[in-house]
Amino acid sequence: MNRNLVNIIQQMIDEIPITEQDFINSLKDNQNSVSYAAPELMSMWWNEVVDTLWDFIPETPTEEWQFKVLSIFSTKTVDELKRIFK
């Protein structure tokens, strides 16, 4: 299954509270770059998005929206992630 990173980023943005504007803007920057990236560079962009996530989500997430964002990116359920980060 080939996941579309532009769409995944948008789904994550939709879950982030508007108060987290720096996080949203960083993901939008990633999204804009990804939309113009050559296919052979996509793995690099997945890694860039991971870096962005960890720049704004604490090592141990505490907020429900943080788990939702990580769930969208990882395809693990929120409950699975809560068990992992416990």
DSSP string across 32-50: HHHHH--GGGHHHHHHHHH
Q: How many domains does the chain have?
A: 1
Residue 51 is predicted with a pLDDT of: 97
- Which domain range does residue 36 map to? 5-85
pLDDT of amino acid 64 = 97
Q: How confident is residue 86, by pLDDT bands cut at 50, 70 and 90?
A: confident
pLDDT above 60: residue 1: no
Condensed to tens digits (0 to 9), the pLDDT of residues 5-49 reads 999 999 999 999 999 999 999 999 999 999 999 989 999 999 999
Summarised one tens digit per residue, pLDDT across range 67-85 is 999 999 999 999 999 999 9
pLDDT beyond 90 at 2: no
Residue 30 CA: distances (Å) to CA of 24, 47, 72: 10, 11, 16
